[in-house]
C-alpha cells in the first residue's frame, strides 16, 4: 500500500506560489489530494491492464483503489492508494518488487498442490513446486510518477477559485 501524503512542512515550499497552507484551506487541499489519488489509481489500473502486466483473473485490477478516508493531522493530509488483496499473498507487491530467490511452494492443508494446466486443460498434482526468481515488473511506481506530474495542476485548480496568485 502506498500513502500519498501532503506534509505541512514539506508542502509549504510547493504552496508558496499559491499563498496557502494545509491549516488555512483543508477543503481545497483535500479535493486536490483526492484528484491526485484518483489519477494515480487510474494509471495503476492501466498498467495492470496490458501496459505493463496482462490481466489473467482481474483480481489485481479490482484490488487497486483508494483504501480508507483521507486522514488529517495538524500539518498534513494523507490517503492510501494501491492494491489491497485478501489472503496471505499480495500479488501486487510480488509483481512490483519481484522475487529475488528461488521459492519452494508446498501444500499447507493438503497432501498435494493442484491446478489446471493452461495449455492442456488437464489437472496437475504436485507435492511441491519450485518457483524460479521473478524479476520486478513495477506497475505502481510508474503510476505514482505520472500522478505526481499531474499533482501541481490539481492544486492549481483547487486554489484558482480562491483568487490567489498562481
Task: Specify whether the CB–CB gap between 131 and 105 falls below 8 A.
Answer: yes
* pTM of the shown model: 0.76
- Which residue bears the cell 484490488? 63
Alpha-carbon Rg for the chain in angstroms? 21
Question: Could you give phi then psi for residue 79, rounded to 5 degrees?
Answer: -145, 145
- Looking at the predicted structure, is the pLDDT value of residue 166 above 50? no
Instruction: Identify the CATH assignment for 2-96+137-162 out of 3.40.630, 3.30.300, 1.20.1260, 1.10.3470.
Output: 3.30.300
Mean pLDDT for the chain?
83
Question: Could you give phi then psi for residue 150, rounded to 5 degrees?
Answer: -90, -15
Task: Specify whether the CB–CB gap between 80 and 122 falls below 8 A.
Answer: no
**11-20, 21-30, 106-115: segment of lowest average pLDDT:** 11-20
Which segments of the chain belong to CATH 3.30.300? 2-96+137-162
Task: Specify whether the CB–CB gap between 72 and 7 falls below 8 A.
Answer: no
E-only strand ranges, 39-154:
64-66, 71-72, 76-83, 103-105, 113-116, 123-126, 129-131
Give 73 or 20, the one with higher predicted confidence: 73
- pLDDT, tens digit, 9 for 90 and up, residues 36-75: 999 999 999 999 999 999 988 888 899 899 988 888 877 7
- Looking at the predicted structure, is the pLDDT value of residue 29 above 90? no
Amino acid at each position: 500500500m502506498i500513502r500519498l501524503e501532503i506534509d505541512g512542512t514539506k508542502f509549504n515550499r510547493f504552496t508558496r506560489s499559491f499563498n496557502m497552507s494545509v491549516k488555512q484551506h483543508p477543503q481545497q487541499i483535500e479535493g486536490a489530494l483526492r484528484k491526485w489519488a484518483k489519477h494515480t489509481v487510474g494509471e495503476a489500473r492501466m498498467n495492470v491492464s496490458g501496459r505493463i502486466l496482462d490481466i489473467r483473473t482481474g483480481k489485481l485490477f479490482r484490488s487497486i483503489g483508494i483504501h480508507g478516508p483521507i486522514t488529517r493531522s495538524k500539518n498534513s493530509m494523507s490517503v492510501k492508494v494501491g492494491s489491497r488483496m485478501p489472503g496471505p499473498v499480495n500479488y501486487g507487491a510480488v509483481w512490483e518488487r519481484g522475487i529475488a530467490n528461488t521459492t519452494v511452494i508446498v501444500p499447507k492443508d493438503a497432501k498435494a498442490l493442484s491446478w489446471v494446466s493452461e495449455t492442456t486443460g488437464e489437472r496437475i498434482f504436485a507435492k511441491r513446486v519450485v518457483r524460479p526468481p521473478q524479476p520486478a515488473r513495477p506497475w505502481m511506481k510508474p503510476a505514482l510518477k505520472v500522478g505526481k506530474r499531474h499533482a501541481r495542476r490539481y492544486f492549481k485548480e483547487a486554489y484558482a477559485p480562491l483568487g490567489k496568485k498562481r
